[in-house]
Structure formats: structure tokens, C-alpha cells
Structure 1
Amino acid sequence: MSDKKASRKKKYNANKYVKKEYKTLLTGTSYVIAPEHIDYLETRFDSVNEKFLDNLKYALKNFDSISLSFRYTKSLKVTPLLVIYSIIDTYGKNKKINVILSQVSDMVNTAITSTGNFESAEHRFDILKRKEGLPVIQGNNAEVIQLQKKIIDTLVELYLDKTNEKFTDRRFEIGIAIQETLDNVGRHAYPNKEHHERLWWFWCGMIDGKLYIAIYDMGKGIPNTILNSSIDYMKLIEQNYKNYDLMKNKLIDVPLPTVSAHIRETISDEVLIRSAMSSEISTTTKEKHGKGSSRIKALIKNEKESFLLIFSCKGLYQYSLYDETNNQNGGEIAISLSNSLCGTLIQWSL
């Protein structure tokens, strides 16, 4: 009985530190405490993680100095770090950020330092220019051609085995997947913004012998951008409605904006993401851009730890070729998130 009580006392509670947070606000420094677990796959982007991002954004908007504490954080996946960096890069320019490392996990601290230790975007870019590593890099659509070449060249030099017989094919697949994803950001994620305002964040690194690549944008999100005038709406309806013929007849002469609104209300975000990744649905009338989903998925191999994750709005999509039970096709999984994540977050585990 006493052991259970002790374990409950140690459980992370964000409200436990409210008094300390407000006390530091009086001194002009905001104290932002990270959750115990920052892992959007396991937590399904729960309210604790959502509140942490909101607190961080508020602190950076309203204070010149913040203390960002991971003191009690036990697990921190690199992919959510791109979301954290995006908030810091957007709202934390010329702000003083004191990072407090974890007291309970060396892996958390490694994730923080390997991605750039929350230094400025300019400082992290200098690391890339010197080819000393690939921390989280901020880019935009205006400079995407030059920057993606530098990123891909550095990735190849640091992380790919040039003696491997599949090196050339792998380099090509990775390059195409990155280019396609960044191209999608430029064409879809920020429809009403100038090219230099269409921001994205990139990270790549090795974890336990596996190569991980992640890209994040703060745009509209796949569930919203898939519903444009050039999509095959009838194919989308056919894939996702049981009463396809009835729905087709109901909507066939209806204006596209009405069809789009109806689909947005009746199909969940995770299903819309899965549809966007289908090779049968093209979201552009330009033929050369109609096969982007297959290029993005082409990096995934029939291996246990090889998979693709896409988080967007309230949807999570996972793609794998490996099935642990019978080593056959692992297929796709579409899951609802607990809260809506701004933009789109993509991770390849290779």
C-alpha cells in the first residue's frame, strides 16, 4: 500500500508548480515546465502536451527571459522537439532562454543537445554550414532549393554508408522524399502567405543505429489542404463512405465548396491523412506532382523499425511494411489524436 502511495506522489503533475511559476513571473522571468513524457505517438498529443506548448508560446510572447525546465521529463522524442523549436524560433527571437536539463533521463538531455540545445536558428544553421551535424534547421519556401541541397548533402556525408551496395539508390530515395515533402509545404501548407513566410523545420540524426528524419510546418494541416478543387472527390467518397452510390448521387451536382465542407465535417482527420497518402487520389492537376505520397512512403522498407508517422490536426497516420506477427505487410494505421496539432509533423524511421 505504501509503495503505491509513494509512486503516486512522484507522478508528474503540471499544477504542482503553478505557485512557483507565478512567483517567477513577478521577477520578469517565466518558468515553463515540460511534461514528464513528450511523445505524441504514446500520449496521442494529450492535454498536458498541448498545455505545455501553449504555456511556452505565452511565455515567449510576454517575457524577455524564460526558464525552460525539463528537470522532471523522463521521455522526450526528437520529433516533438521540432514543434518546440518552431515556437521558440517564431516567438523567441532575441529572448533569453535558460534550458534546465533533465535530472531523471540522460536520453532526454541527449535529444535536447543533439537537436541544437535551443540555440538560435542562425547558430544552428552555422553547424549545418560547417557540416558538424544536423540540428533542427529552420527554412522557408523562398530558399528551399539551396537549403534542401545543403541538408541532403550533409545528411549523406554524415549518416549514409558509402560502401553499401544500395548507397546510390538510398541517397536518391531520401533526396526525393525530402524534396517532395518540402515542395508540399510550399504548395499547400501556407496558401495565403508569401514564399519567405512558408516556414518549415528539419532534423536528421542517428538513434540506436537507426536513421531518423523529421520535417514540420505550422501550416493549415493535411486534413484541410487535401480538400481543394483538384482532388478526385468521388474517389475520396468511394474510399471512405459505405453508402458510396447514395452519397455520390447526393453530391454529384452540388458546388465543390459544399462538397468539401460536407467531407470535412463527416470524415475524421486521420482518415483524410490516410486518403492524402493514397496513390489513387491526386491533389493536383499537374501530372508531375501527382505521385508525391508514393515517393514519401518509398523510404520505408520491410524492416521491424522502419515506419512513417504523420501527425496533422487531430489525426495520426502510421505506415509500415513490417508485421511483427507474421513478417508480412504491416499496412496503415489511422488514429485520432486527443487534441489538434498545428500544421503537419512527419517522421521517417529508417
Structure 2
Amino acid sequence: MLAEIDRITRSLRGRCRLKCGYPKDETVEKVFQQIGLFDILEKRHRLQVTDEDTTVAKWRYASDVSVNQVSADALMKIIQAQLPAGYKKLVTGVGEAMDNAVHHAYLRPRGDRLSGSASADERRWWVFAEVLDGWLHVAFCDLGLGIPVTLPEKWAEQIEDIVKLTMLSEGKKDRNMIRRSLELGRTRTEQDHRGKGMRRNILKAAQDLGGRLSVYSNMGAVGIDFSTTPPTYKDGAYTESILGTVIQWAIPVKEMQDLEDEHDNHSNR
């Protein structure tokens, strides 16, 4: 929602102004303040967010139009003291999502009624991060064409079963396209501009840290829980599109000693 409103306000600035009322729920109002939604809508902050607002105060937010892993790293370093030693894997995953958004997700304009202006068609991404109750939560969003649209164009030489997928309903096709994207490593051409695939960084970040990964794109969704053995999959196929891609990581925050013990156990196998 924030990404869509941000795009609308950037595109129509000077021609139209969005307005909103205040939520009846104070927690919701504080969340809107904390993540920057009220700032986008030029809405005055009425409430004070304190450390006692545990479900609100630790949310952090960033947005940009460049592939700049420093942007992701800066966001993560705000809560670095609460992160596991291996958090850099997650930063790499966020960086790969940025790269995909800038170089692939926006191959063409979105094609809606706002398209045609520089602000509407810019290759922007949004990231949210929070540490709460022993878990690091990171959510990445872009408003591009979606994985099911860009996947065939980026990985045509490795998707020989693409015709079979197009015979499914839109929701099921999108779901299967997402699952297929998580299986891909690097194209056979080994061309740098073709990307490294979601498996190498986006999926690996959750896998190596024993967390959960959820990917929503257009009408499909795929969730993988790596805290179970074997990993647990949960898929979804919907009738309406989110018109973009949302990637969510949930990573358990562990003490350094726990991580060292896990590494030693793995090495002794």
C-alpha cells in the first residue's frame, strides 16, 4: 500500500493531492507514522512513538531508485546489534532483489494510467526491516512487471517447460513461475547482465539462517519454511494481481555461540 501511494503522489505531484483521515486505532496510526506513510501524504504526526510501542518502534524503512547495496546495508546496520553474525547473507539477498527490480522488473513501463511520466516509470524499490521477539523481519517491494512476466524473458534458455505453465490459470501459472524462479541459479550463457537467479541469494539467505521466505508476485505466492526438515512449502494462487513483487524474509536472531555450535556440527558431519 505504501509503495502504491508513494508512486501515485510522486507521479501526480503538483496536479493532485491525496488526503487521508487518522485511523481509529492508535497502534495503526503510530505504524503509519513510523514507516513514513504520513510523511508521503504530508499528514501531521499526532502521537509519540516510544520504546514501549514494541510492535511499532523498531520498524525501519528505506526507498531508492538505484542498485545500491549500501542502502540495504545502512538500513540493516540500524539494527545490527540485534542481528545474527550471518546477517550479511540477508543484505546480499536484499541487494539481489534491488538488482532484479532495477534491471529486470522494470523492463517496460507498467502500462497503467500513470505510465508515461518519469516519476511513474522510475525503477523504485521499497524495503522495511524490524527485529521483534527474536526474529528479524525484512520486506522488499517493487512495482514492476512481476516475476511471471520477466522470468521467460530473462531465462528463456532454461525454461523449456514454459508452454506447460501458460496452459494453467493465471494464478496457478504465476505461482509455478515463482517456484521455477527459485530453482534457477545462473543462465547457461553466464552473462553477468542476466543475473544470478533468486536461488543464489534471495532463497539462500533464508535457507542458511534457518528462516522463512515468502514471495508474492502478480497473482501467485510461494512460502518456504527452512526451520523444518525437510523445508515446508506453502503456495497460493489468487484471482487478483498485486501488480508487482513482494519478498519477505523472517530470520531467527541467534546468539553468536549458537551460530558457532551449528557451524561446528555441520563441519563434523
Q: Does 1:299 align with 2:225?
A: no
Task: Please list every run of 5 or more consecutive structure 1 residues that lacks an aligned counterpart in the other structure.
Answer: 1-79, 124-131, 238-259
TM-score (norm 2): 0.68
Higher helix share: 1
Q: Does 1:100 align with 2:6?
A: no
TM alignment of 1:264-275, pairs within 5 A = 264-266=166-168, 268-275=173-180
RMSD of equivalent CA atoms? 3.5
SS at match of 1:107: helix
Q: Does 1:278 align with 2:183?
A: yes
Equivalence for 1:201: 126
Q: Does 1:331 align with 2:232?
A: yes
SS at match of 2:240: strand
Matching residue's letter, 2:95 = Q
Distance 2:14 2:95 in 1: 28
Equivalence for 2:223: 318
| Identical counterparts, % of pairs | 20
SS at match of 2:97: helix
Equivalent of residue 308 in structure 1, options 197, 201, 213: 213
Distance 1:343 1:181 in 2: 12
Matching residue's letter, 1:272 = M
TM alignment of 1:1-350, pairs within 5 A = 80-91=1-12, 95-103=16-24, 105-120=25-40, 135-140=60-65, 143-145=66-68, 148-156=69-77, 158-161=78-81, 166-167=84-85, 169-170=86-87, 172-192=88-108, 197-228=122-153, 230-231=155-156, 232-234=158-160, 237=161, 263-266=165-168, 268-279=173-184, 282=186, 285-286=189-190, 289-300=195-206, 306-323=211-228, 328-350=229-251
Deviations 1:185-240 (A, max 9, x none): 1221111369x822222222234453221221111110111112643123xx2xxx
The answer as to whether partners of 1:302 and 1:320 remain within 8 angstroms in 2 is no
TM-score (norm 1): 0.54
How far the C-alpha of 1:287 sits from its partner, in A, is: 5.8
Distance 2:138 2:183 in 1: 21
Matching residue's letter, 1:115 = I
Distance 1:174 1:303 in 2: 9
Deviations 1:323-344 (A, max 9, x none): 4xxxx33332221023111011
Check 1:110–1:311 CA distance in 2 against 1; reply closer, same or farther (3 A cut): same
Question: Which of structures 1 and 2 has the larger relative contact order (alpha carbons within 8 angstroms, sep 6+)?
Answer: 2
Deviations 1:6-41 (A, max 9, x none): xxxxxxxxxxxxxxxxxxxxxxxxxxxxxxxxxxxx
Task: Please list every run of 5 or more consecutive structure 2 residues that lacks an aligned counterpart in the other structure.
Answer: 44-56, 110-117, 252-269
Check 1:309–1:82 CA distance in 2 against 1; reply closer, same or farther (3 A cut): farther
Matching residue's letter, 2:198 = G
SS at match of 2:224: strand
How far the C-alpha of 1:276 sits from its partner, in A, is: 0.6
Q: What is the count of residue pairs matched by the alignment?
A: 223
